[in-house]
Amino acid sequence: MGKFRLVGLLGAGGMGRVFLGRAPDGVAAAVKVVHPYLLNGDETEFRRRFVREVGAARRVGSGFTAAVLDADPDAAVPWLATEFVPGITLGDAVARFGPLPEESLTALASGLFTALSGVHGAGLVHRDIKPSNVMLDVDGPKVIDFGIARVAEATGLTRTGQTVGTLGFMSPEQFERSDVGPESDVFSVGAVLAYAATGRPPFPGDTLPVLFANLTTRPPDLDGLPAALAPLVEAALAKSPAARPTAEAARAMIPAPPTHVRADHGWLPPAATTAILRAASAALRTPGPATFADAKTTADVRAPAAESRRPGGDASPRVHPVAPRASVISEASPAPAAASRREAWERFGLPALVFALIMVSSDFWVADTEMWEHWAAAILIVRFCMVGLLVCTMTVNPGSSGFLRGVGYVFAATNAVGFYLGVMFGAGPTLAHSMPVFNTAIALSVVAYAYREVRTRRMRLAAA
């Protein structure tokens, strides 16, 4: 895209996909490419709106937001490049390591409300602040995804009638109308802080009617929130927009960090800091387009000889135009739910199925001594084939979780040794008693891991 070479998929949302891009000078960027179907309506108006949003986002001056680097609203598929923030999201951190301690919450609140001050000072309303839009860096939090930002003034950009936001972190007025103001962002930050402190949204609800009723009539669930932060979060979560503080006023309400915090400790727990550094290192080592394959999407990255431009381009000025070297993104854009189901199948379902096939194809037979005596060679061959299938599954399928891949390789190596002993030294009777026990232990570990992942994904769903 422009001067950026796409090297990996970072994520996908309602308005587009986000890729990791690299400039010729090595600078990394998060390149957001809009979904092609968004151009099916009034394309001219969409592109004009895109230009305005990018121009407004450039006015945001805050060290806690991702800066806009480049954009091209006239490309065949419009795109926007922002500063790449290596690390993990707040939602991932809470799901993996639990609620944040008080000193981390204080730093998080300071960073988020500082970011809001910059956003609102530029005349913008973010409208979708949530845990997955808050990146955690070793230097502090950063608010990302300004692709859905809207100019706060009464312009066509706020009269689309579209509700932008995420259930569980939307303000009450955002449920009822689209032209919300900065007060809505303050509410969302309050909800994010409550989630970071407790591990759950402040207003529960499994369905939209229940959530809306709790949001508009019940007080927030702040059990577990540190007392020092309670006045700030309660004020931010006021039902009436007029009763909420501004971002600047909220910053003034943030308590001083606890006195026991060491200066060299960092603002996050050590485990979270380690995860951030590992995630940043892994992202920056992402392979190039020729070898990149991401299990979370069916969209592919293709680089044609020249960029395809839309005919009869809009007269609106381009935002920092670049040489026409952009890639064309596939029209395929799977829904988030479908992508989530496919990811779950690739990461857990497919490996678990192979484990089950191995168990059924060999362990029950091996345990039968009489069957072993008559069909030893056939049983070992079937086991060998199943282990080979397992190795192929773990190697070819990049979506397999790291734990299952590790277990798979250990499982394959152990069973390969068993195959060799059974054929070369007639160790069938020994295997008949040892392998079922070993494989049962492996199966139980896989089940325990899958259960943990299911619980983790439920927490991430609450944060998404």
Candidate list 72, 74, 92, 128, residue with the active-site label: 128
Query: Would you list which residues are annotated within the binding site?
Result: 32
- DSSP secondary structure, 22-70, as one string: E-TT--EEEEEEE-GGGGSS-HHHHHHHHHHHHHHHHT---TTBPPEEE
The reply to whether 68 falls in a domain is yes
Higher pLDDT, 122 or 386: 122
My answer on whether 131 and 11 are in the same domain is no
SS3 79: strand
Question: Mean pLDDT for the chain?
Answer: 72
- Return the residue matching tokens 């969302």: 188
Q: Is 128 in the active site? A: yes
Cα–Cα distance, 422 to 435 (Å, whole number): 11
My answer on whether 35 and 175 are in the same domain is no
108-131 mean pLDDT = 91
Q: For position 232, which CATH number holds? A: 1.10.510.10
My answer on whether 68 and 34 are in the same domain is yes
Band of the pLDDT at 444, cuts 50, 70, 90?
Answer: low
The reply to whether 330 falls in a domain is no
The reply to whether 319 falls in a domain is no
Band of the pLDDT at 7, cuts 50, 70, 90?
Answer: confident
Burial status of residue 207 (CB atoms within 10 A of its CB: 0-12, 13-18, 19 or more): exposed
Band of the pLDDT at 300, cuts 50, 70, 90?
Answer: very low
Q: pLDDT by residue (tens digit) across 352-366?
A: 666 665 555 555 444
My answer on whether 169 and 289 are in the same domain is no
CA torsion through residues 379, 384, 389, 391, sign: positive
Give residues with Cβ within 8 angstroms of 123, minimum separation 6.
56, 59, 151, 152, 153
Sheet arrangement for strand 140-143: 88-89, 134-137, 140-143
My answer on whether 73 and 99 are in the same domain is no
Q: At 375, which helix (H) or strand (E)?
A: helix 369-396
My answer on whether 126 and 62 are in the same domain is no
Contact call for residues 238 and 191 (beta carbons, < 8 A): no
pTM greater than 0.75: no
Domain range for residue 404?
Answer: 336-463
Cα–Cα distance, 463 to 89 (Å, whole number): 10
Cα–Cα distance, 330 to 128 (Å, whole number): 26
My answer on whether 20 and 152 are in the same domain is no
My answer on whether 80 and 120 are in the same domain is no
My answer on whether 229 and 105 are in the same domain is yes
My answer on whether 399 and 289 are in the same domain is no
How confident is the model at residue 451, as a pLDDT? 61
My answer on whether 357 and 391 are in the same domain is yes
Query: Would you list which residues are annotated within the binding site for ATP?
Result: 32
My answer on whether 250 and 194 are in the same domain is yes
The reply to whether 302 falls in a domain is no
